[in-house]
């Protein structure tokens, strides 16, 4: 399993927990448009949970401009050095 896959697996768990849906399977191209519950409110909950899960702190610009799940995985990878 590559580092990216490992991050994706952990991140998938975060998504399932935040959106209370065990059927969610994230993909790189997935955006807020693909998950109905993903609004500005759940986005902040998601960011806080990601920060706790991966031990990182996201910047204001990063919180606001995460375009899709792929960008989120890349960002986590760059911050955790994986």
Partner 1 sequence: MKFDSFAFISFCALAVASLRLVKPGMLRLLLVVMLNFVFVASFFDSLRQALPLAGFVMAGYAAVVLSSRIGASLPLIGVVILIFAWLKRYDFLAFLPPLHFLYVVVGLSYILFRVLHLVIDVGQKAIPRPGFISYLAYVLFFPTFVSGPIQRYEDFDGQVSSPVAPGTTHELYMACQRIIRGMALIGFVTVLTHFLFERIQLRFYGALAASTFSFSTFALLCAAASLFAVHLYLNFGGYMDIVIGVGRLAGLALPENFNRPYLSRNFLEFWSRWHITLSEWFKFYLFNPLLRLMAQKWRAPSQMPYLAVLGFFVTFTVMGIWHGSTRIFLAYGLILGSGISLNKLYQVQMTAWLGKKGYKVLAGRSWYGHLCRGLTLAYFALSIVCLWIDASHAQVLSRFRGMALVFIAFAALSALTAVLSFAIERLTARLSNVPPWMPSLSDRVLPAWTAIQIFLVAVAIFSVDSNSPEFVYKVF
Residues 58 and 80 sit within 8 Å (Cβ to Cβ)? no
Residues 51 and 63 sit within 8 Å (Cβ to Cβ)? no
Give contact residues for partner 1 (rule: CB under 8 A): 36-37, 40-41, 43-45, 47-48, 59-65
Q: Least distance (Å) from partner 1 to the CB of residue 47?
A: 7
d(CA 82, CA 48): 20
Q: Least distance (Å) from partner 1 to the CB of residue 4?
A: 22
Which of 55/59 has CB closer to partner 1? 59
Q: Least distance (Å) from partner 1 to the CB of residue 70?
A: 19
């Amino acid at each position: 399993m590559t580092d990216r896959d490992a991050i994706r697996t952990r991140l998938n768990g975060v998504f399932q927990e935040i959106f209370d849906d065990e059927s969610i399977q994230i993909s790189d191209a997935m955006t807020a448009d693909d998950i109905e519950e993903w609004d500005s409110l759940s986005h902040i909950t998601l960011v806080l949970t990601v920060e706790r899960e991966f031990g990182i702190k996201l910047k204001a610009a990063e919180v606001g401009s995460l375009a899709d799940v792929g960008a989120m995985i890349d960002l986590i990878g760059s911050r955790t050095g994986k």
